């Protein structure tokens, strides 16, 4: 019996029980749809975070205090919590390492910000003019912080897009005064939106001169981190080593294992993010894939029921000359068709569902051809695997016993 005729008979048999066929496919549809949606959302989240990290600066090395041995009883200080990193460290890095283009000293903390009847708890970034270039930041309206602002500890602020919406409801904030910890600041600029995850996005932050943040707002002398721009991506490793040894000398630390700072470059962060999101995506995809197995078991159960119901039909076909392989091929074809149709519908639902979920969460989704092909092939494999036993059972029926079956 030809493949075309086998498919035709299989489709006719499935069409004879439309509701049962649809319910059988439901497990495959849900499984494939869930796998495609979860993988797409995971890939979109990974791409969004990676884009945000890359947007923080080019050829960037970040120096963060803490994480060294030190502390009473060998206790380690959390990253960014120590007070041993200063502006002078940044100046020494810029003066002594040839591959360093510029250094941005930064101090950040959170504070209450008020404008008229609106108030928010925002991240306050004390920065120098170098921040704009080191962190690839662009001012959309107004201006950024200048050397003069830092030198005189001016009470001026540059704000992110989300702050404009939250405090000013979209109105023009330039020239308006906001209060940060009850100290008035004049808004002089608005940054272009960078988007991305809120914990690394400048859209939710307020930028003030570094000296203003240190002296007027928070009363500190140290900085939270140093952003170091390197001239060439190929010089990153060499520059990172040089910065490390320089800071060890400045801080009087002989053993690198006891360093009271940590150096991170973008590649390190991207690799870490990639590993974490990859594991999460695989985990979510695996959980979703369980429903595919459940769908496969459903196909096997329904096909076994179908074999029982069509026992006389099988006996008649064998009696008029159908071979064992013809019966095997027919029932296996029915199983694969159920899986393939379910897989196609599942892919469409998965793509649509992932986009709806991304739109609702305000995130991105990345639908790859590989994920769709993999889900489709896996659904076909499920149909073959779980369809083999019912097909073999049908093909082994004795014509005489089948014809006598009631």
Low-confidence ranges of the chain (pLDDT < 50): 69-80, 197-199
**Residue 363 and residue 291 in one domain:** yes
**Residue 105 and residue 207 in one domain:** yes
Residue 27 inside a domain? The answer is yes
**Residue 279 and residue 141 in one domain:** no
**Residue 396 and residue 283 in one domain:** yes
pLDDT tens for 24-65 read 788 788 888 887 887 787 777 777 666 666 555 558 899 999
Residues 6+ apart with CB under 8 A from 218: 107, 109, 126
Residues 6+ apart with CB under 8 A from 202: 125, 135, 137, 160, 191, 194
Residue 59 inside a domain? The answer is no
**Residue 36 and residue 169 in one domain:** no
Q: Count of domains in the chain? A: 2
- State the residue range of the domain holding 144: 85-250
Question: Judging by beta carbons within 10 Å of its beta carbon (0-12, 13-18, 19+), is residue 57 exposed, middle or buried?
Answer: buried
Spatial distance between the Cα atoms of 350 and 172, rounded to a whole number of angstroms: 41
- pLDDT score at 197: 47
Spatial distance between the Cα atoms of 161 and 178, rounded to a whole number of angstroms: 15
**Residue 38 and residue 126 in one domain:** no
Residue 354 inside a domain? The answer is yes
Phi, psi at residue 128, to the nearest 5°?
-110, 170
**Residue 287 and residue 243 in one domain:** no
Residue 232 inside a domain? The answer is yes
pTM over 0.85: no
Identify the domain boundary among 250, 283, 305: 250
Concatenated DSSP letters of 165-232: HHHHTTS--TT-EEEETTEEEEEEEEEPP--S-GGG-GGGEEEEEHHIIIIIII--SS-SEEEEEES-
Residue 71 inside a domain? The answer is no
Own/partner pairs for 129-134, CB < 8 Å, 24+ apart?
130/102, 130/103, 130/104, 130/105, 130/227, 131/104, 131/106, 131/207, 131/227, 133/102, 133/229, 134/57, 134/60, 134/102, 134/103, 134/104, 134/227, 134/228, 134/229
Residue 72 inside a domain? The answer is no
**Residue 127 and residue 92 in one domain:** yes
**Residue 230 and residue 309 in one domain:** no
Please give the sequence-ordered ranges of beta strands (E in DSSP) within 69-155, or none if there are none: 100-115, 118-127, 139-142
**Residue 245 and residue 96 in one domain:** yes
Concatenated DSSP letters of 241-298: HHHHHHHHHHTT---GGG-SEEEEEHHHHHHHHHHHHHHHHHHHHHHHHHHHHHHHHH
111 SS3 class: strand
- pLDDT score at 144: 96
Chain centroid, CA 309 distance in Å: 49
Residue 96 inside a domain? The answer is yes
Residue 118 inside a domain? The answer is yes
The position carrying tokens 């009473």 is 72
Query: Which residue from 22, 3, 2 is spatially nearest to 298, judged by alpha carbons?
Result: 22
Query: Which residue from 269, 130, 133, 126 is spatially nearest to 205, judged by alpha carbons?
Result: 126
pLDDT tens for 113-142 read 999 889 999 999 999 999 999 988 899 999
**Residue 239 and residue 294 in one domain:** no
- pLDDT score at 200: 53
**Residue 167 and residue 278 in one domain:** no
Phi, psi at residue 36, to the nearest 5°?
-60, -45
């Amino acid at each position: 019996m030809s493949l075309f005729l086998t498919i035709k008979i299989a489709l006719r048999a499935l069409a004879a029980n439309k509701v049962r066929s649809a319910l059988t496919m439901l497990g495959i549809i849900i499984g494939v749809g869930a796998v495609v949606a979860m993988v797409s959302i995971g890939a979109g989240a990974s791409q969004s975070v990676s884009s945000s990290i890359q947007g923080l600066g080019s050829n960037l090395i970040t120096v963060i205090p803490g994480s060294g041995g030190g502390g009473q009883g060998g206790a380690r200080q959390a990253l960014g919590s120590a007070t041993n990193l200063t502006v002078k460290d940044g100046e020494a890095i810029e003066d002594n390492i040839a591959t360093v283009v510029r250094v941005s000293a930064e101090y950040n903390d959170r504070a209450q910000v008020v404008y008229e009847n609106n108030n928010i708890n925002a991240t306050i970034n004390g920065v120098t003019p170098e921040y704009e270039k080191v962190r690839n930041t662009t001012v959309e309206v107004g201006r950024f912080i200048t050397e003069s602002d830092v030198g005189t500890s001016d009470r001026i602020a540059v704000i992110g897009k989300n702050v404009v919406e939250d405090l000013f409801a979209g109105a023009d904030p330039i020239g308006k005064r906001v209060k940060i910890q009850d100290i008035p600041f004049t808004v002089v600029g608005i940054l272009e939106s960078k988007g991305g995850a809120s914990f690394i996005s400048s859209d939710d932050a307020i930028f003030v001169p570094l000296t203003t943040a240190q002296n007027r707002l928070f009363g500190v002398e140290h900085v939270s981190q140093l952003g170091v721009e390197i001239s060439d991506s190929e010089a990153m490793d060499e520059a990172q080593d040089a910065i490390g040894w320089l800071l060890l000398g400045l801080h009087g630390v002989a053993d690198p294992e006891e360093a009271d700072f940590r150096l991170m470059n973008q590649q390190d962060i991207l690799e870490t993010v990639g590993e974490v999101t990859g594991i999460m995506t695989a985990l979510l995809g695996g959980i979703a894939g369980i429903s595919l197995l459940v769908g496969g078991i459903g196909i096997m159960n329904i096909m076994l029921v179908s074999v029982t119901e069509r026992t006389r039909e099988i006996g008649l076909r064998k009696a008029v000359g159908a071979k064992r392989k013809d019966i095997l091929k027919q029932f296996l074809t029915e199983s694969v068709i159920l899986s393939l149709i379910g897989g196609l519908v599942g892919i469409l639902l998965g793509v649509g569902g992932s986009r709806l979920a991304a739109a609702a969460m305000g995130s991105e989704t990345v639908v790859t051809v590989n994920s769709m092909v993999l889900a489709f092939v896996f659904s076909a494999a499920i149909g073959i695997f779980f369809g083999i036993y019912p097909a073999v059972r049908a093909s082994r029926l004795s014509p005489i016993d089948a014809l006598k079956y009631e």
